[in-house]
Amino acid sequence: MFRLREYFPYLAGLTFSLVFGFSFLFIKEGLELMTPFHLLGFRFAIAFLCLSLLRLLGLIEINLKNKNLKKLFLLSLFQPGIYFIFETTGMLYTNSSEAGMMIALTPIAVTILAIFILNEKPSIKQSFFIVLSVIGVFFIIFNRGTSNIEGNYLGLILLGVAVIAAAFYNIISRQLSLEFKPVEITYVMMGFGALLFNSVALFRQGFALESYFSLLANKSVLISVIYLGVFSSVVAFFMMNYTLSKITAAESAVFANLTTVVSIFAGVVFRNESFFKFQLVGAILIIIGVWGTNYFAKAVIKKGEDIYEKV
């Protein structure tokens, strides 16, 4: 008789990969109905309210007393701040398939930044796979101009900035994980995002509260922000941390790659996005590169510290 419990981490990994993969689809859908800051404001407000409710019910414990909140706010500046501004704005100028491929480069950016910030030099094998991923990106860029693809190069540049911000976030979060629990970091991030993005969105709308919240009467808007706020930002987070606490970092990299595949599938099937052969080749190079960089890492990062995301 099989022990079903042994498969729970992998089922959880499959779940958060699917949720994160489809999140690009819902971001794209939401951006057709509202501005980036409007979408982000609703997304993080819903996520923060969900976590606050879980806290009130005693299902999660948040203790921020006598802790380094300054560094936690610096972390929040990179993500959700810079990361989500550039990711969401970047998706105005590209499609969900390419967005998924670009965001998949985050582990590569982390490895490169760690060379300069943490003095962590990649192995020769890691370096090979890093170069392979970069080749995949440039292969897509150089072939993109000859094809009729939604958006332009600005979208890829903005997504590239988002990847760099996510890499800084990952490195800072490693240090903070010694002092804060993952759920505490997420709680502050969601609160910071809700305050920042709603403030900017309201300012740009002249603080007209009635028209600001009237968008929630639109069924499509409501579906997008609930998916992004509840499933992408809360449910998938718990699934991800459960998976990372039960399996190795190398195994978890497989689920990060699955997210990329799902984002491509969602864009092609549900939004009828074109997907050319050169994009397939580039995606394969990126996925293999990310897998190899994680697999041949010199040291396994403390379980639960890797951040994929997220979207």
Tens of pLDDT, residues 72-104: 999 999 999 999 999 999 998 888 888 888 888
Higher pLDDT, residue 274 or 56 = 56
Q: Which residues contact 15 (CB under 8 A, 6 or more apart)?
A: 236, 239
pLDDT tens per residue, range 172-209: 887 887 888 888 988 999 999 999 999 999 998 888 88
- The number of folded domains in the chain is 1
Residue 89 corresponds to which tokens in the numbers above?
A: 């704005």
Domain membership of residue 239 (yes or no) is: yes
Domain membership of residue 245 (yes or no) is: yes
Could you give the CA distance from residue 83 to residue 10 in angstroms, rounded to a whole number?
Answer: 28
pLDDT tens per residue, range 287-310: 888 888 877 765 444 443 443 344
Helices 106-117 and 277-295: crossing angle, nearest 10°?
40
Cis peptide leading into 80, omega within 30 of 0?
yes
Domain membership of residue 303 (yes or no) is: no
Domain membership of residue 305 (yes or no) is: no
CA distances from 15 to 9, 21, 150, 233, 259 (A): 10, 10, 29, 13, 10
Domain membership of residue 12 (yes or no) is: yes
Its domain, for residue 68, covers 4-295
Domain membership of residue 307 (yes or no) is: no
Lowest-confidence region among 1-10, 40-49, 68-77, 99-108: 1-10
Domain membership of residue 111 (yes or no) is: yes
Higher pLDDT, residue 259 or 29 = 29
Domain membership of residue 98 (yes or no) is: yes
Query: Is pTM, for the whole model, over 0.85?
Result: no
